[in-house]
């Protein structure tokens, strides 16, 4: 029995929205319609759909054939690097209407308009840091802490319980709950509890939850010849159309001290990697263990025990459903390797 068949199998009725579409309208189609961007369904209404219907492309196509096809405009995040491409646009929009801060900046340096800085009353901002709002707003959420000397350039979202410790935060960053940040970060999205509490550079990257970067871990986000970055997705190399793209890491992956990562690299879920004093390959399958030259498959029980320890330190725990999902990824690694050739 697959993971999909274990959960959410009861038929559901209602509106089905594509999560990769940036929804910027209050309108919905008529029930006999389905809205598309190109050949991608964005939203439609149906009764009695189960999750299996979405994993069977033929079944979904039959359902959509009954609908009146209407093409719409909008932003569809087709590839993982699209999150980096559009982050600036949506950060500026999301942060624009945040409540201004009553914080006294007399012991900090503000470059630009201080009214573009919003600090939650329960956040701690110590004297001695620099805030730069010339390119956009800065929002510091509850229980976040800013330790000097830090430079924070907007637009930037600093989430709940995030620690910024003597860091250089360049424009266009989103740090979600519990992240620890030192060193330099630019144009990146860090999901919950990413630990980058050391020097090193991460730029133009999307990092999954509970990823750890050892001291001096650094990625490239620009080629010497300024050509477009190629990213390996679904078994083929995709031209990102961008000259600046960093790395993409799945949840629970760990990078040892001195890790060096090439532009456009993909690292799967649950990897345990340590430096061989060279660049890691540009595609590393989930649950890889090793130094970039000789990868082994991470022993499942070792991964699970270590992950539980890490989450416990943050007063979190793996749910039963998440363990099953991770195990499904683990069991399908050989299929992934065969399909990708890695």
Q: What is the pLDDT of residue 335?
A: 59
The tens place of each residue's pLDDT in the chain, 342 residues long, gives 233 334 455 657 788 889 999 988 888 899 999 999 999 999 999 887 776 677 677 888 888 999 999 999 999 999 999 999 999 999 999 998 787 777 888 899 999 999 999 999 999 999 999 999 999 999 999 999 999 999 999 999 999 999 999 999 999 999 999 999 999 999 999 999 999 999 999 999 999 999 999 999 999 999 999 999 999 998 999 999 999 999 999 999 999 999 999 999 999 999 999 987 789 999 999 999 998 888 999 999 999 999 999 999 999 999 999 999 999 999 998 756 655 555
Q: Of 127, 174, 130, nearest to 152 (Cα)?
A: 130
Q: Of 283, 281, 288, nearest to 232 (Cα)?
A: 283
Q: Of 228, 213, 299, 293, nearest to 79 (Cα)?
A: 228
Q: What is the pLDDT of residue 293?
A: 82
- 156-159, long-range: CB < 8 A, 24+ apart: 156/91, 157/91, 157/94, 157/95
Q: What is the pLDDT of residue 341?
A: 54
Phi, psi of 148 (to 5 degrees): -80, 165
Q: What is the pLDDT of residue 24?
A: 83
Q: DSSP readout, 307-323?
A: HHHHHHHTT----HHHH
Q: What is the pLDDT of residue 155?
A: 98
Answer for the pair 116, 137: CB distance below 8 angstroms, yes or no: yes
Q: What is the pLDDT of residue 3?
A: 35
Question: b vs e for 27-64, b when ≥16 Cβ sit within 10 Å of the residue's Cβ?
Answer: eebeeeebbbbeeebbbbbbeebbbebeeeeeebeebe
Domains defined along the chain, listed by start: 3-71 (no CATH), 107-340 (2.160.10.10)
Cα separations (Å) of 76 from 23, 26, 277?
Answer: 9, 17, 38
Q: Please report which helix (H) or strand (E) contains residue 90, including its range.
A: helix 82-96
Cα distance between residue 212 and residue 217, in whole Å: 10
CA R_g for the chain: 22
């Amino acid at each position: 029995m697959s993971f999909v068949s274990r959960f959410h199998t009861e038929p559901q009725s209602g509106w089905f929205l594509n999560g990769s579409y940036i929804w910027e309208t209050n309108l919905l189609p008529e029930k006999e319609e389905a809205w598309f961007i190109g050949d991608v369904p964005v939203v439609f209404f149906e009764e009695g759909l189960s999750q299996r219907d979405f994993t069977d492309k033929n079944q979904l196509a039959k359902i959509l054939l009954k609908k009146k096809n209407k093409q719409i405009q909008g932003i569809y995040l087709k590839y993982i690097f699209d999150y980096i491409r559009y982050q600036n646009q949506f950060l500026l929009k999301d942060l624009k209407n945040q409540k201004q801060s009553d914080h006294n900046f007399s012991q900090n340096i503000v470059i630009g308009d201080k009214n573009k800085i919003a600090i939650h009353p329960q956040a701690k901002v110590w004297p001695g840091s620099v805030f730069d709002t010339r390119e956009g707003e800065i929002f510091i959420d509850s229980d976040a802490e800013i330790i000097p000397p830090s430079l924070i350039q907007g637009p930037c979202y600093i989430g709940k319980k995030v620690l910024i410790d003597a860091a250089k935060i360049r424009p266009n960053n989103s740090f979600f709950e519990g992240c620890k940040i030192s060193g330099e970060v630019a144009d990146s999205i860090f999901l919950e509890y990413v630990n980058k509490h050391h020097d090193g550079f991460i730029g133009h990257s999307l990092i999954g939850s509970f990823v750890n970067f050892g001291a001096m871990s650094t990625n490239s986000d620009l080629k010497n010849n300024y050509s477009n970055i190629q990213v390996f997705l679904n078994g083929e190399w995709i031209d990102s159309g961008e000259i600046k793209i960093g790395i993409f890491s799945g949840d629970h992956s760990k990078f040892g001290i001195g890790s060096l990562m090439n532009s456009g690299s993909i690292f799967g879920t649950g990897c345990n990697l340590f430096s061989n004093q060279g660049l890691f390959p540009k595609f590393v399958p989930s649950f890889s263990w090793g130094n970039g030259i000789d990868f082994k498959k991470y022993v499942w029980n070792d991964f699970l025990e270590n992950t539980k320890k890490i989450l416990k330190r943050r007063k979190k725990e793996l749910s039963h459903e998440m363990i099953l999902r991770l195990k499904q990824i683990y069991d399908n690694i050989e299929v992934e390797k065969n399909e990708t050739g890695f």
